[in-house]
Amino acid sequence: MATSVTLPALGESVTEGTVTRWLKQPGDEVAVDEPLLEISTDKVDTEIPSPIAGTLQEIKVAEDETVEVGAELAIIGEAGEASAGDGAEQAAQAAAAEEPVPEGQPERPAQPEPATQEQPTGAAADQEPAAAPAGATEQQAPAGSGEGTPVTLPALGESVTEGTVTRWLKQPGDEVAVDEPLLEISTDKVDTEIPSPIAGTLQEIKVAEDETVEVGAELAVIGGGAAAAPSQPEAGAQPETSAPAEPEPAQEPAQEPAPQQPAAQPAPQQPAPQPSGQPAPQAQPQEPARSQAGESTAASAQPAAAEQTAPSRASGDGTPYVTPLVRKLATEHGVDLSTVQGSGVGGRIRKQDVLAAAEAAKAATAQPEPAPAPSAEDAGLPGEPSPLRGTRQKMSRIRKAIATHMVESLATSAQLTTVIEADVTRIARLRERAKADFEAREGVKLSFMPFFAKAAVEALKVYPVVNASVEGEEIVYHETENLGIAVDTERGLMVPVLKNAGDLNLGGLARQIADLAERTRTNNLKPDDITGGTFTLTNTGSRGALFDTPILNQPQVGMLGTGAVVKRPVIVTDDTGADSIAIRSMVYLALTYDHRIVDGADAARYLNAVKKRLEAGKFEAELGL
């Protein structure tokens, strides 16, 4: 019976997705939960797994084609169900239980060789409905009856009521540690991982991948290891067929999967040549029908394990499959993918693996780098030419979303930018005095950013018109200062939110800003981390820019941009009124505001309040000086 593979709901606000790559082709054998294709949305890139074990019969959506949620992507039939004749034969076998097994088998060797190679597995698969239910009942009972701790979907934010399981990082039978990630959850806000509440063995998975459940729903059961082994094969594998050899012939003729099973299961290498001719299918009727069903089920369940999916995900040269995004990232960071150990399903190399390898390479070459560096710096060269030169690429989903939001923001509000200059020499001197002790005490480096954030939120309390939003014909003045922090990531610009920033001291601001930035770059934000902002701070000076004119993050009415802190000669007036020229650390503060409710005078008053706080530099108490 053919099964349709559809595009699942990947979040409340996600209505469509783009097929970026097919990992399987028509005729390929697939296991339960084995990735079929990659889908890209404006929120996340993910893989769509196979809902059943069988053969990919037809691809309905081509690569780079965008379809809506619920659209049919492909058709998968049971193993050996490659034609209408096969389907009729399977229907007859299902109706006659085990009797059709010896009757159907002799007819298959007379068929052409490709059909003969696929049908032994088909025969075994046809008998699964007869043998699997009993086995499944026996095996699942211990998993649920043992003393286990349920893993539930936690509250991921006030506005988040449900989540979709996008990937299980552990399988039944796997040992897990406390707080070790079990699965990935996708919501309409962000992707996140659900950790294990206890150390133990994953006994049972309650929610399949791509299934959407409400907050509080039971996702899995974790307990001792006694019941873990029986619950691992989801299709009900028979315990007496732990190392089957016969199911492999169905995968051998598929060319690409041919080397996969021998690599994962060295024992069955001897019967591997059997599928090349017709005698192998003829020999299978000698085995008991029940044994064939158990072996086929075990074969379809085993590829879900990490060590077996690794070869199935390999490319033609034996290296793990790598997405174009990861290849591009590796090129930009100069990372040799052949040296990277993947942490994804089947050993797949993920973005985090490349970033970790890049950081490790930087640390390893920290000492040799200074030798060649002077020549490059002296020459003033910007770097190696980018491989993007002369190419044309489609915009990513996240880039499309950013583009849409930016244009909509400019069309929504009347935006204007006012710039003021501040002398932060006292803060610069405080940093030099306190940065070593501060880092030892707080665990993060002391940059200018916490000082800017502190001055900004304190001024918001005095001038709430800048910390407001427009709702219809009403102005909402927010009672808390939820500070958005603009962060540059590989995927694009993101703005996580530091909640109740007005209640934090300098150390608290520094820690939380560093934590938000790190989790944003590593894609570990929670849904609440990117919602609820009332005002945004963007550090445009981190790349040397003096100032810019930020675009508002709707529905906010204010965004403060801080430029680069630079030393230059400035006229300074002392207490007696005498002027002198001194070298001072200066910074431009640019405030973009919504002119519908914020007047120019309001913006200037707010900026001057920020300037006054920064120039006073009275932060000794918070720095422990």
DSSP states along 530-571: GS--SEEEE-GGGGT-S---PPP-TTBSEEEEE---EEEEEE
Tens-place pLDDT, residues 74-114: 999 876 665 444 444 444 444 444 444 444 444 444 444 44
Judged against a pLDDT cut of 90, whether residue 427 lies above it is answered with: yes
Q: Give pLDDT, residue 1.
A: 72
Q: Are residues 411 and 552 in the same domain?
A: yes
Please list the helix, strand and coil fractions of the chain in percent, rounded to the nearest 5, in that order.
40, 25, 40
For the chain, what percent of residues have pLDDT higher than 90? 39
- Look up 174 and say whether it is catalytic: no
Q: Is the peptide bond before 273 cis (omega within 30 degrees of 0)?
A: no
Q: Domain for residue 440, yes or no?
A: yes
Judged against a pLDDT cut of 90, whether residue 602 lies above it is answered with: yes
Q: How far apart are CA 352 and CA 357, in angstroms?
A: 9
Considering Cα of 454, then 455, then 460, then 461, what sign does the dihedral take? Answer: positive
Q: Give pLDDT, residue 612.
A: 97
What CATH number does residue 526 fall under? 3.30.559.10
Q: Six-digit token pair at 449?
A: 């950013």
Q: How far apart are CA 496 and CA 509, in angstroms?
A: 14
Tens-place pLDDT, residues 560-601: 999 999 999 999 998 898 999 999 999 999 999 999 999 999
Tens-place pLDDT, residues 192-245: 788 898 989 999 999 999 888 988 899 999 986 444 334 443 444 444 444 444
Cα 325 to chain centroid, rounded: 12
Q: Give pLDDT, residue 190.
A: 67
Q: Give pLDDT, residue 158.
A: 59
What CATH number does residue 158 fall under? 2.40.50.100
Q: Are residues 340 and 414 in the same domain?
A: no
Q: Domain for residue 570, yes or no?
A: yes
Give the domain extent around 336: 324-378
Q: Are residues 358 and 489 in the same domain?
A: no
Name the catalytic one among 333, 405, 478, 595. 595
> Which of 34-48, 268-282, 523-537, 609-623 has the lowest average pLDDT?
268-282
Q: Are residues 405 and 529 in the same domain?
A: yes
Q: Domain for residue 353, yes or no?
A: yes
Q: Are residues 471 and 570 in the same domain?
A: yes
CA atoms within 13 A on the CB side of 119: 31
- Look up 595 and say whether it is catalytic: yes
Q: How far apart are CA 191 and CA 156, in angstroms?
A: 10
Q: Domain for residue 235, yes or no?
A: no
If phi > 0 it is left, if psi is from -120 to 50 it is alpha, else beta; for residue 297 that is alpha
Q: Are residues 421 and 450 in the same domain?
A: yes
User: For the residues 550-557, what does the mean pLDDT come to?
Assistant: 95
Quick count: other Cβ atoms within 10 Å of Cβ 58?
14
Q: Are residues 439 and 489 in the same domain?
A: yes
CA atoms within 13 A on the CB side of 171: 19
Q: Are residues 371 and 490 in the same domain?
A: no
Tens-place pLDDT, residues 263-275: 444 444 444 444 4
More confident residue, 129 or 71: 71
If we measure between CA atoms, which residue out of 164, 223, 224, 174 comes closest to residue 194?
164
Q: Domain for residue 231, yes or no?
A: no
> Which of 5-14, 17-26, 60-69, 317-326 has the lowest average pLDDT?
317-326
Tens-place pLDDT, residues 361-406: 877 765 554 555 555 556 777 888 888 899 998 887 778 888 999 9
If we measure between CA atoms, which residue out of 596, 158, 605 comes closest to residue 409?
596
The total number of structural domains in the chain stands at 3
Q: Give pLDDT, residue 522.
A: 87
What CATH number does residue 340 fall under? 4.10.320.10
Q: How far apart are CA 309 and CA 99, in angstroms?
A: 34
Q: Are residues 429 and 571 in the same domain?
A: yes
Say what the pTM is: 0.48
Q: Are residues 529 and 570 in the same domain?
A: yes
Q: Of 314, 348, 378, at which residue does a domain stop?
A: 378
Name the catalytic one among 317, 378, 599, 602. 599
> Which of 45-59, 216-230, 347-361 has the lowest average pLDDT?
216-230
Q: Are residues 404 and 343 in the same domain?
A: no
Q: Domain for residue 313, yes or no?
A: no
